[in-house]
A = this chain, B = another copy of it.
């Protein structure tokens, strides 16, 4: 780590390390130093006022601090960036008395170490752009427009043979003449295994300059859709966008989606709405980055096998009945037009290959991105999503399984759950005396819901300070009006309506808690089972890589406390974020990694947990916080981390 800054909090004299540019609120939250913060860090509530007593900070001016106070060093923690070592005084009224200062190294370990993909793509986009200026036709050489193009491609660019579609032929005559036979030709090299490449002419762009070329990397999750618009010549991510998968209204999980698909026109409707969602993502990224739609050459999607089937309109019936057979796993490029995607003429879609009915292209994409296929380290890879996927092994052996965790960690099925998007509460600290929460939202936008990492953090803390019992029910005698009876049993108010971005209180209910309990039990029993199959104990793992659509605030202690992650040394964990999307981005930039993913998929051995009686036993044992077998969670039992 570079640019480390030391922050000393008074009066408790807690010293932590933070990173140059971090907000003071983030640093406090990370350190377990409670400062009231109800608006998520947006600067609206003005509660997080602290005093800088030594060192310089970079503070935004705000009307919440009076000029005379500002002169004395007062700032809003959420509007203040750390640029050097500082000492901060937290007003006495705000100090959570039960916060126990921890060893600095320990504290740093509680956050999952962020991990970028170790795989370095080369620039091998799936398309080629060639600037051309063939001789215009004359009576002595009046061969056809198309033959002039393929002749030039062969002679001057060594690209041959070339094929094309009728749609391209239809536009050629006017496009080549628009700028007097100066144009860029867009081609797709076709690499079929075992034969020489040939080239598909996709489109013609009149002009003297090669146009900007982009592609979409997309993760089609059961609950959420995530997309990135990428400049395929530089690898730069031009814009990002995400939203819920609109198929949610036709079923929360893959099984109920399949059931819906088998109804009359069900498959068509599912296909239509997910494409609509993707079109919204395309449009949003184009708008955000001011990019022309014509620049999009292709899309790479990663999704589980059911999502991929539904996206392509493939019949999913045999996915859900033994022996669980997909229609296809290795699917060639599909014209974007055939799917109804708002992409230009000639654009195509590549889907990541899957391994089995419930281990799909998203996990292959994730493995591609996390690099375990190319590493000696014995790795456990956990992708926490509605369809939770698990891979164990290294370059010598990759075993995989999936389990239906449900959408809770993506905010699905929770009263105020949401994706890790702006306004989602991702960091939470609860005052152990007053039970008041200090919250941090993504992008410091007014809170509109709580995302997966926020949920894990809050449940873990509630458990530790006695607000929850191990069956995930609220204590009722705490003397705080934040715990109350709601329409779905007891609930805790995380953010009051007036401080939120909604017109209502943001709450966590006991029904929500039950969903989380089942989700974490499904994940935990899944990797417990898979490791048993391989004959590996958790102690033998070199590392655990966590993926999922969490925010950046996934706290390992909290995740271990609720029994979602195994209780092993925290420095073995890293957090890769949305690895499915990261793998899709790699494939967008380097088509050889897309080809590699076919090898990875073929090398992965799948274990059908639903066919394994041990899985259900494991699941039942895990329906407890953290687990019925407490010996599996020594650090939780001993409370070593405070």
Chain A interface residues toward B at CB < 8 A: 137-139, 142-147, 160-161, 163-164, 166, 169-170, 172-174, 192-198, 312-315, 317-318, 322-332, 334, 338, 356-357, 608, 611
Q: Determine whether the beta carbon of A332 is less than 8 Å from that of B170.
A: no
A174: contacting residue among B315, B330, B356, CB under 8 A: B315
A170: contacting residue among B166, B192, B313, B330, CB under 8 A: B313
Alpha-carbon distance A143/B330, docked complex (angstroms): 11
Alpha-carbon distance A615/B196, docked complex (angstroms): 49
With A318-B173, A329-B143 in contact, do A196 and B198 touch (Cβ < 8 Å)?
no
Q: Determine whether the beta carbon of B144 is less than 8 Å from that of A194.
A: no
Q: Determine whether the beta carbon of A139 is less than 8 Å from that of B173.
A: no
Alpha-carbon distance A327/B314, docked complex (angstroms): 36
Q: Determine whether the beta carbon of B195 is less than 8 Å from that of A325.
A: no
Q: Determine whether the beta carbon of B329 is less than 8 Å from that of A147.
A: yes
Alpha-carbon distance A328/B170, docked complex (angstroms): 10
Q: Determine whether the beta carbon of A324 is less than 8 Å from that of B142.
A: yes
With A170-B313, A315-B170, A317-B173 in contact, do A326 and B356 touch (Cβ < 8 Å)?
no
With A192-B161, A317-B173, A332-B164 in contact, do A327 and B137 touch (Cβ < 8 Å)?
no
Would you list 16 pairs from A and B whose C-beta atoms are within 8 A, ordered by A residue? Answer: A137-B325, A139-B323, A139-B324, A142-B356, A142-B357, A144-B325, A145-B325, A145-B328, A147-B328, A166-B338, A170-B315, A172-B327, A172-B328, A173-B318, A192-B198, A196-B196
Given the complex, which residues of B lie within 8 Å of A170, measured CB to CB?
Answer: 313-315, 327
A531 to chain B, nearest CB (A): 21
Alpha-carbon distance A547/B357, docked complex (angstroms): 60
- Nearest B residue (CB) for A173: B315
Alpha-carbon distance A356/B315, docked complex (angstroms): 47
Q: Find the residue from A144, A170, A608 having the highest chain B CB count within 10 A.
A: A144
Alpha-carbon distance A334/B165, docked complex (angstroms): 8
Alpha-carbon distance A173/B170, docked complex (angstroms): 35
- Nearest B residue (CB) for A196: B195
A207 to chain B, nearest CB (A): 20
Given the complex, which residues of B lie within 8 Å of A326, measured CB to CB?
Answer: 144-145
Q: Determine whether the beta carbon of A146 is less than 8 Å from that of B322.
A: no
A560 to chain B, nearest CB (A): 35
Alpha-carbon distance A342/B145, docked complex (angstroms): 30
Q: Determine whether the beta carbon of A332 is less than 8 Å from that of B163.
A: yes
Q: Find the residue from A143, A169, A325 having the highest chain B CB count within 10 A.
A: A325
Alpha-carbon distance A357/B164, docked complex (angstroms): 20
A561 to chain B, nearest CB (A): 37
Given the complex, which residues of B lie within 8 Å of A323, measured CB to CB?
Answer: 137-139, 142
Q: Find the residue from A143, A163, A313 having the highest chain B CB count within 10 A.
A: A143
Alpha-carbon distance A72/B492, docked complex (angstroms): 118
- Nearest B residue (CB) for A331: B169
In addition to A146-B331, A163-B192, A169-B327, 13 A-B residue pairs with Cβ atoms within 8 Å of each other are A139-B322, A139-B324, A145-B318, A146-B329, A146-B330, A147-B330, A161-B195, A169-B328, A169-B331, A170-B314, A173-B317, A192-B198, A195-B196
Alpha-carbon distance A164/B312, docked complex (angstroms): 14
Given the complex, which residues of B lie within 8 Å of A327, measured CB to CB?
Answer: 144-146, 169-170, 172-173
- Nearest B residue (CB) for A162: B192
A161: contacting residue among B194, B313, B328, B356, CB under 8 A: B194
Given the complex, which residues of B lie within 8 Å of A322, measured CB to CB?
Answer: 139
A307 to chain B, nearest CB (A): 15
Alpha-carbon distance A596/B274, docked complex (angstroms): 47
Q: Find the residue from A161, A166, A322, A611 having the highest chain B CB count within 10 A.
A: A166
Alpha-carbon distance A172/B147, docked complex (angstroms): 37
Q: Determine whether the beta carbon of B325 is less than 8 Å from that of A142.
A: yes
With A166-B334, A194-B161 in contact, do A146 and B357 touch (Cβ < 8 Å)?
no
Alpha-carbon distance A18/B173, docked complex (angstroms): 56
A454 to chain B, nearest CB (A): 38
Given the complex, which residues of B lie within 8 Å of A142, measured CB to CB?
Answer: 323-325, 356-357
A195: contacting residue among B147, B166, B198, CB under 8 A: B198
Alpha-carbon distance A144/B164, docked complex (angstroms): 30
Alpha-carbon distance A315/B171, docked complex (angstroms): 8
- Nearest B residue (CB) for A355: B143
